[in-house]
Amino acid sequence: MRVVLQRVTRAAVTVSDEVVGSIGKGLCVLVGIHRDDTEEDMKYIIRKILNLRIFPASEQKPWDKSVMDLDLEVLSVSQFTLYGQFKGNKLDFHTAMAPTEASKFYETFLESMKKAYKPEKIQDGKFAAMMSVDLVNDGPVTITFDSKEK
């Protein structure tokens, strides 16, 4: 799994002029699923999202608190394009998990994250939909990580 994580003051996902997920302060997480991802990859990514110390505790400790420490929110957005590769000037997505399988994997990912934290604090977009993501990056702070690069 590959993640682009942004610390935000607010974020929302809109599909066809309807807001389907929104949060206040917390993390907006773009999630890509590789065709070879496993439950272990999922567990690693969830642990990192929820426990990454990316928020300040004070001016002296700018990187000391996690989403869980501060009772913040997470907006997760599925994004297969994180596994896009160039073939000339075209994009190829053959390393991304196939849509039917990825849909099930993503649902399991969301449910597992809700179980690991607080269900009401986890929001998401709409899988396989054309989404508009609106966010205010706090910092700005943007971190990328991949479960295959532990």
Of 46, 50, 150, the closest CA to residue 108 belongs to 46
Q: Is 79 a catalytic residue?
A: yes
- For residues 95, 85, 5 and 11, what is the CA-based torsion angle, rounded to 10 degrees? -100
* Cα gap 112→110, rounded to integer Å: 5
6, 14, 55, 80: the active-site residue:
80
The catalytic position among 81, 85, 142, 144 is 81
Q: Is 72 helix (H, G, I), strand (E, B) or coil?
A: coil
Q: Clarify whether 142 is annotated catalytic.
A: no
Q: Does residue 145 carry a catalytic annotation?
A: no
All residues at 6 or more sequence positions from 70 whose CB lies less than 8 Å from its CB, including other chains: 25, 55
Out of 6, 14, 55, 79, which one is annotated catalytic? 79
Give the tokens for residue 53: 């110390």
Which residues form the catalytic set?
79-81
